[in-house]
Amino acid sequence: MSRKKDFSSPDMPLTPAVFYILLSLATKERHGYGIMKQVDLDSKGKVRLGPGTLYGAIKRLVDEKLVAEKESLSDERRRYYKLTDKGMRIFKTELTRFDEAVSLAKKRKLLESISLSTVVFI
């Protein structure tokens, strides 16, 4: 089965790379290098994107209209990327899924026995 997410069905989980890219764009628009640094920071170094992986993911997100491209006024060599309404909707669906999973884990007292840092995205 393909691991790639079909964004037309928002029930499928996002890959870690796509999740962190959307997370980095949820608060402000960024250029490619900015996204890379923010993903590294947000994931505490666990998700490191090379330029190949980053722009491969960006192309797919732009093609699927989850992310929009914007020319930079200050630096014409760079392009900025921002989340679209569809991108934000899918990102929020994913956050809700995490929230529900964490609530369920808390209710079953599972979070007391495991460290949060070892939680792996499913």
Partner 1 sequence: MRELYRALLSFYPWEYRRRYEKEMAIVFEDLCRDEVESMGKIKAGFLLNVFSDLLVNIFKQHFNMLKKQGLEKYLKNTLSFNNYNIVGLILLSPILILTAIDFVSRITQMDLAHYNRLVYNLLSKTFLYKYPVLLTWAIIFPILAVILNLVPLFKTKKRFVTFAILILGLGFIAMIRLHDFVPCVVHGVFDRGVNQILPIINYCKSA
Strand order in the sheet with 79-83: 30-31, 79-83, 67-71
The verdict on 46 binding partner 1 (CB under 8 A) reads no
Q: Give the one residue of 15, 26, 53, 121 binding partner 1; rule: CB under 8 A.
A: 53
Angle of CA points 37, 83, 59, to nearest 5°: 75
> What is the number of alpha carbons within 13 Å of residue 87 lying toward its C-beta?
26
Q: Give the one residue of 6, 33, 85, 114 binding partner 1; rule: CB under 8 A.
A: 33
Q: How far is the CB of 37 from partner 1 (least distance, A)?
A: 9
Q: How far is the CB of 88 from partner 1 (least distance, A)?
A: 23
With CB under 8 A as the contact rule, which of the stretches 10-18, 50-58, 84-92, 112-120 interacts with partner 1?
50-58
Residues in 63-92 that interact with partner 1 by CB under 8 A: 77-79
Pair of tokens at residue 104: 């369920």
CA distance 31 to 22: 13
